[in-house]
Amino acid sequence: MTGGTPTTDALLRERVAAAQEALRRASELRLCLVRAGAALLLLLLAAVLGFGWELHDWQLLVPLLGAYFVLALALALASRQQGRVGLVARLAPSLDVLVVYALQSQSLPVSPFPAGVAGWSLGAFVLLVLLASLTLDGGMIAWTAGLAFLCEGALQRQAGVGYGAVLASGVVLSAAASITVFGANRVGALVRRVASEEVALRVEAEKNEELRKTQEQLRAANDTIAREHGRLLDAQAQAERLSRVLVHDLKAPISSILSLTEAARQALKDGRAGPETADHLAVVHREAQRVSGMTADLLALSRLEDGAMKPRLQVQSMYALVTEASEAHRADAQKNGVSLRAVAPVGLASMGDPELTRRVLDTLLVTALRYTRPGNRIEIESRPGMRGVELVVRNDGPPIPPSRAAQLFERTTTSEDGREHRGFGLYFCRVAAEAQGGSIALTQSPGWPVEFVVTLPDSAAPRLQQAG
C-alpha cells in the first residue's frame, strides 16, 4: 500500500509478518508430520524386510530409522514452540539430508550395486529440497540444496562414480533449488498481497467503527447538552415565574406594612400614639405573618415541584387540624365581621402530611377572608367522602365566575377583562394535595356559592360522633 500513513504502513508490515509467520509455522508442522509418518513407514519396512525376510542390509538400517523416527516426533513437537526450539524445527530439512546420507552410506558397503544406491539417493535429496520449500525461507532452501549436493557427491565418490556424474547431480539439485525458491517467493508475494488487502479492509472497517462511535458520542453529547439546555430554560422560566409571583403577591402586604409603620412612626413622633396606633401595629404584625407564611409556602411549592420535598405521610386527625385552623383565623374573621364555624367529627383521620395539610387550610381560609365582607359566613368541615376524607372550606361571598374556575388552580389565570393574574395560593393547594395522594376541587352547595373540597386518602380510622 503506497501513499499510506505511517501508522497504516506499520500495521501492514506487522500483519504481513504475522501472516507469513503463521503460514510458515503451519507448513513446518505439516512437514514434521509428513517426516514422522515417512520415518515410521521406513522403520516398519526395514523391520519386515530385515527380520521377516532376513535381509541383512535392511537389518542394519533398523536402529538408524528408529532413532530418526524418535527425532521426527521430537521435531513435530518442537515446531509448535517458538525461539530456539522452533529454530531446530526449521533446520529439520538439513537433518533429513544427513539422515539420508547416513542410511545410504551404511547401505553402500553391503549393496551389490553401490552406484545404484548413490544414484537413488539423488532422487531422495531432490525430494528433500522440494520439501524445504515449506519453510518459505530461500536461504534455508539453498542451504539444504548445498548440503544435499555435498552428501550426494560423497556417496557417489564412495561408490566410484566419476566427477562428471557428481557435477550433473549438482546441476539437478541447483535446478530443484531454484524452482523451489521461485515457488516460495511466489507464495510469499501472494501472502503479502492477501495480507495487504486484509489490512486495507480492516483499517477501513476500524475507521468506520471509530467514526460510528464518534458519531454516537457526538449524538449523546448533543442530547446531554439539549437536556441541560432544557433544564436551564425550565429553571430560568421557573425563576421568572417565582419573581412575578413574589412581586404580585408580596406587593400588597409589604405596601401595607410600609404605610402603617410610617403612620405609627409619625404618630409616636408627634405624641399622638393611641388605640389607632396599636391597631396599625397589629395589622403590621398580621401582614408580616402573612408575608412569612407566603414565603414558606413558596419555598415548599418550589421543593415539591422539583421533587426535593417528599410529604411525610402519617395518620392525621381531622378534628385537630380543623380546630387549630379555625382558632388561628377566628380573630381576623371577627375583626372583618365574618362568622367562622368549624365542624369536624372526633376521631376522623386521614393519611397525609399534617404540616402541608395545615398550610392548605390556612391558604383557603386566608383566601375566603380576602373575598368576604361583613355579615358573610365561612365554614370549615371535615367529613367522610366517597374517595377518602374530605376537608371543605366554604363561604357565602361572591361566586367565582365560570371563566376563571377552569384556571383557578394554575399559576396564571385570566380574568373576564382579559388581564393576566399571577398567584400561587390555590396552585400551592393543588400541588400539596396531589403530593399527599389527594385532590382539590371547586364546587357549590345550597347556600354556599363558593366551596373548596380537598380529598385526602382515608386512614381507615374509626369514625365517631360529630362534635361541632
Cβ neighbours around 273 below 10 Å, total: 16
Residue 363 CB neighbour total at 10 angstroms: 22
Instruction: Specify the DSSP class assigned to residue 340.
Output: E
Identify the pLDDT of residue 389: 93
How do residues 35-62 score in pLDDT, each as one tens digit?
667 667 766 876 787 677 766 666 666 6
Pick from 147, 52, 133, 34: which is nearest to 97 by CA? 147
pLDDT (0 to 100) of residue 249: 60
> Which of 383, 385, 392 is CA-nearest to residue 347?
383
What one-letter code names the amino acid at 240? E
C-alpha cell at 19: 501472516
Of residues 397, 381, 401, 398, the one with CA closest to residue 389: 381
DSSP lists the bridge partners of residue 340 as 378
Tell me where in the chain the CATH 3.30.565.10 domain(s) lie.
Answer: 312-467
Per-residue confidence (pLDDT) for residue 400, from 0 to 100: 87
pLDDT at 90: 60
User: What pLDDT is stored for residue 338 in this prediction?
Assistant: 93
pLDDT of residue 420: 43
| Cα distance between residue 333 and residue 319, in whole Å | 20
pLDDT digits (tens, 9 = 90+) for 286-311: 667 667 666 766 666 666 666 556 77
- For the stretch 366-397, what's the b/e string if a residue is b when 16 or more beta carbons lie within 10 angstroms of its beta carbon? ebbbeebeeebbbbbbbbebeebbbbbbbbbb
Beta bridge partners of 466: 345
pLDDT of residue 364: 92
pLDDT score at 463? 41
365, 378 contact by CB (below 8 A): yes
The string of pLDDT tens digits covering residues 167-192 is: 877 787 777 778 777 776 776 677 66
- Other beta carbons within 10 angstroms of residue 338's beta carbon come to 22
pLDDT by 10-residue block (mean), the chain, 468 residues: 55 66 67 69 72 68 66 66 53 73 72 68 71 69 80 77 76 77 72 70 80 88 87 72 60 68 76 72 70 67 62 89 88 88 92 89 89 93 92 92 80 50 73 90 91 89 39
Q: ∠ CA(256), CA(262), CA(267), 5° rounding?
A: 125
Cross-strand bridge partners of residue 393: 380, 452
pLDDT at residue 169, as a whole number: 74
The closest alpha carbon to 396, from 461, 360, 450, belongs to 450
Distance, in Å, from the CA atom of 29 to the CA atom of 26, rounded to the nearest integer, reads 5
Kindly tell me the sign of the dihedral angle through the C-alpha atoms of 114, 115, 116, 121: positive
Longest Cα–Cα distance of the chain, Å, equals 158
pLDDT value at residue 87: 56
At 220, the amino acid letter reads A
Alpha carbon 256 to chain centroid distance? 58
Angle, CA 336 vertex, CA 331 and CA 341 arms, to 5°: 60
Q: What is the pLDDT of residue 248?
A: 56
Contacts 24+ apart (CB under 8 A), 189-197: 191/16, 191/19, 191/20, 191/23, 192/16, 192/19, 192/20, 194/19, 195/12, 195/15, 195/16, 195/18, 195/19, 195/20, 196/1, 196/12, 196/16
Q: How many CB atoms lie within 10 A of CB 292?
A: 11
Grouping H, G, I as helix, E, B as strand and the rest as coil, residue 379 is strand
Q: Tell me, yes or no, if the pTM score tops 0.85.
A: no
| 163-270 and 6-47 helices, crossing angle to 10° | 140
Sign (positive or negative) of CA dihedral 12, 13, 16, 21? negative
Q: Residue 413 — left, alpha, or beta (φ > 0 → left; ψ -120 to 50 → alpha)? A: beta
CA nearest 288: which of 256, 263, 259?
Answer: 256
pLDDT at 318: 92
* Predicted pLDDT at 269: 72
325-328-331 Cα angle (round to 5): 130
Residue 61 makes CB contacts below 8 A (sequence gap 6+) with 42, 46, 50, 103, 106, 107
User: In CATH, what is the architecture of 312-467?
Assistant: 2-Layer Sandwich (3.30)
